[in-house]
Amino acid sequence: MAYRGYFTAEELLTEVNALFPFVAKPPDAQLTLQGDEDLCSRYLREDMRRFVAPKLPPDGVRYLCSELAELSGQGMRWLFPSLLRVLLVHEGRADELSYFVVYDLSGSASRFDSIRLRYGWLDTVQIACLQSLLEYCSEIYGHEVAQAQETLESLRD
């Protein structure tokens, strides 16, 4: 990973606005990794039916962050624009939300296939932005982010 230097919240927000535009919510069947046979996925999709806009409100972001492992790549693509903005404007429980992302990306090698399914849509520039955002979260919230940054780096391969 080439170090890009430290970014302020304002600088990162400008980058996030450019690199992570809001996208339409995916159809229910494409929101999660599992189908209706999986009870957790079914409940998640039912709970998320109240949200239809590309931009998720903070309570929707919090709910999906607690279920990151259930989301598909398309679900993550819908969540991330809202999530990253919440993290950078310190809305709601941004410290807890940032921890969910750090933890999700800090999985063991046995979880890498699942991580790739959820984050594989990220391009090289988005990955660099997320690595900087993780560094910012480590400064603000004290998270250990090195393993999460390494996981993001391995997505480039």
Q: What pLDDT is stored for residue 79 in this prediction?
A: 95
Q: What pLDDT is stored for residue 108 in this prediction?
A: 66
Those residues whose C-beta lies under 8 Å from the C-beta of residue 131, and which sit 6 or more positions away, are 1, 4, 149, 152, 153
Is pLDDT of 112 > 90? Answer: no
Q: Could you read off the pLDDT of 22-81 as tens digits, one per residue?
A: 999 999 989 998 877 888 888 989 999 999 999 999 889 988 988 888 899 999 999 999
Q: Spell out the domain ranges in the chain.
A: 9-154
Of the ranges 13-22, 86-95, 117-126, which one carries the lowest mean pLDDT score? 86-95
Q: What pLDDT is stored for residue 41 in this prediction?
A: 86
Q: What pLDDT is stored for residue 89 in this prediction?
A: 83
Q: Could you read off the pLDDT of 115-148 as tens digits, one per residue?
A: 888 899 999 999 999 999 888 888 877 777 787 8
Q: Average pLDDT, stretch 97-120?
A: 81
